[in-house]
Structure formats: C-alpha cells, structure tokens
Amino acid sequence: MKYGKVAALAAAVVMALSAGSAMAGDAAKGEKVFKKCAACHTIDAGGKNKVGPNLHGVIGRAAGTLDGFKYSKAMQDSGVTWSAETLDKYLTKPKDFIPKNKMAFAGLKKDKDREDVIAYIESQK
C-alpha cells in the first residue's frame, strides 16, 4: 500500500517535470505545428503584424507591448511576461488564461504540440 503511494507520487513528479520543461520540445516538429498560427502570426525578424502580432523574440516580452499592433485591453492589462511556462498555459486554452483576449484560437490540446511549438518559438529570436 505504502509503496504504491510513493510510486504514484514519484510518477506524478516525473510527469510534472517533463511537462514543465519546454526544452523537451522538438523545434523542427514545432515549425509544422506553427502552421496553425501562421494564418495570423509571422515569426521572422521584422515580420509584419497580421491578424495577430509578430512573434519574433516573443519569449521574454511583456504581453501586449509590440509597437504598432492594436491589442485588446485584456492582453495589455494581463501583467503576463511570455516564457515557456506562460506560453504553455496560454496556448492550452487562450481564453481561460487571459479572459477576453481577442486571439480567436481554441488552443493546442496535445502537450507535445505545445512543447514543440514553444521550442520552435524559442529558436526564433
């Protein structure tokens, strides 16, 4: 009994650690996942804003601060700084993480898709 509990706890810790590590993502696969984002976002340096803001170097940027893009008030007031962790939460379900933000995207349900696309975004800076 006791052993079972410890083993379950250890498994949970391992899962939490791997979920928290964006480094586990595969940037090449993430580039393919990014096709879902590319309808609205460019990611090349100096790329234009489309329906959504350019995402070059977005990691480390405060949300809602790229010059020349008209963000929602919700995004500007979110107080979020983009990191692997906040991107993971946002991309799981954008409307839950920042209510009333105007990104019309349901989210990436698969952990692996998020890990890969975040690895790709991290590589574009």
Report the interface residues with ligand HEC, using CB under 6 A.
36-37, 39-41, 51-53, 55, 58, 61, 63-64, 66, 71-72, 74-75, 82, 87, 91, 101-105, 108, 117
Least CB distance to ligand HEC at residue 45 (A): 15
Indicate the residue among 25 and 64 with the shorter CB distance to ligand HEC.
64
How far apart, in whole angstroms, are the C-alpha atoms of residue 64 and residue 56?
14
Least CB distance to ligand HEC at residue 61 (A): 6
Least CB distance to ligand HEC at residue 75 (A): 4
Indicate the residue among 19 and 76 with the shorter CB distance to ligand HEC.
76
For the CA atoms of 45, 96, 108, 47, the dihedral, rounded to the nearest 10 degrees, stands at -10
Tokens, residue 1: 């009994």
Least CB distance to ligand HEC at residue 20 (A): 18
How far apart, in whole angstroms, are the C-alpha atoms of residue 37 and residue 117?
10
Specify whether the CB–CB gap between 27 and 124 falls below 8 A. no
Indicate the residue among 18 and 81 with the shorter CB distance to ligand HEC.
81
How far apart, in whole angstroms, are the C-alpha atoms of residue 100 and residue 98?
6
Indicate the residue among 9 and 112 with the shorter CB distance to ligand HEC.
112
Specify whether the CB–CB gap between 58 and 80 falls below 8 A. no
